[in-house]
Amino acid sequence: MAVKCKRCGKEINHDGEYCIDCSRKGMQEIFQKYPDVKQAFKESIEEMKKPENMKKMVDNTVRFMDAVQGLQKGK
Ligand SMILES: [Zn+2]
Full-model pTM: 0.53
Residue 50 C-alpha to ligand 1 middle, in angstroms? Answer: 22
Name the 3-class secondary structure at 9: coil
| Dist CA 19 CA 8 (whole Å) | 8
Q: Which helix (H) or strand (E) holds 69?
A: helix 54-73
pLDDT score for 8: 96
Distances (CA, A) of 56 to 21, 47, 48: 15, 9, 7
First to last CA, the chain: 32
What values do phi and psi take at 62, rounded to 5?
-65, -45
What is the mean pLDDT for each group of 10 consecutive residues in the chain (75 residues)? 88 85 87 82 72 71 78 66
Q: In this structure, are residues 31 and 38 in contact, taking their beta carbons and an 8 Å threshold?
A: yes
Residue 21 C-alpha to ligand 1 middle, in angstroms? Answer: 6
Residue 59 C-alpha to ligand 1 middle, in angstroms? Answer: 15
pLDDT score for 63: 79
